[in-house]
Amino acid sequence: MKRWISFFGHLAIVVVLTSFGTYTVTNTQKVQLPSELVVSGQSIVDRPSLSQESQDTSMESLVFLDKDFIGFREAVGFKESQGNYNTTNTLGYLGKYQFGAGTLKLLGVHNTKSFLGNPAIQEKVFQLNVERNKWILRRYIKSFVGKKINGIVISESGIIAAAHLAGAGNVKKYLRSYGKTDFSDAYGSNIAYYMKRFSEFDISTIKAVHNPKV
């Protein structure tokens, strides 16, 4: 009898000790994530809305434009409409570069409906307008480039960008008055801002042309 008690006692001790040993889980349970937490492909995070000038600065930090005519053209297009060929603003200005109907007529475009959404003609008209403004402002470009007005070094690209905003006549007034006579559009952009914002582009490949047309 004592022998059986001893046997079961030893057996109990072995069972207790082995219960503390290591064990392996062979059946792992899969956890299903909620659908809103699953990422598929690249995720896009919207940036907070920025003021107009802050938006320009933000764009420059994200996109590296060459400082040539193409870079100048794209920078102006982004400033005017964020590059939208189909847009018309609240004042009736059209397309990527926000041309008025009067300027379009001067450059040979009479159908504003066909102008909208037509990238090829809009790019052509922008270049023609640069050629035209270079011709009108050629003497001012020669006289003022390199001078400083209100802390801004005057450049050819700055003059042409300001002419796109305000017209060549208002740019002449600004330069003749050394910045005392400025012009602001309905959205608050002025000549001085455009002179600074677009001052570092080389647009010398575009020549001055008298009365260019499509």
pLDDT tens digits for the chain (214 residues)? 545 445 455 545 444 444 444 434 344 444 343 443 333 333 222 333 334 454 455 455 446 789 999 999 999 999 999 999 999 999 999 999 999 999 999 999 999 999 998 999 999 999 999 999 999 999 999 999 999 999 999 999 999 999 999 999 999 999 999 999 999 988 899 999 999 999 999 999 999 999 999 9
pLDDT at 9: 54
Domains of the chain: 53-58+65-197 (1.10.530)
Q: Are strands 152-153 and 148-149 parallel, antiparallel or unpaired?
A: antiparallel
Helix (H, G, I), strand (E, B) or coil at 119: helix
Run of H or E residues at 16: helix 2-18
Contacts by 146-154, CB closer than 8 A, 24 or more apart: 149/174, 149/175, 149/178, 149/179, 149/192, 149/195, 150/178, 150/179, 150/192, 152/192, 152/195, 152/196, 152/199, 153/199, 154/195, 154/199
Predicted local confidence at residue 28, as pLDDT: 40
pLDDT for position 10: 53
Q: How far apart are CA 68 and CA 184, in angstroms?
A: 26
Rounded Cα distance, 150 and 129, in Å: 27
User: Residue 62 belongs to what H/E stretch?
Assistant: helix 52-62
For residue 56, what pLDDT is reported? 54
Give the model's pLDDT for residue 65.
82
Q: Which residues pair with 154 in a beta bridge?
A: none
In the three-class reduction of DSSP (H, G, I as helix; E, B as strand; rest coil), residue 149 is classed as strand
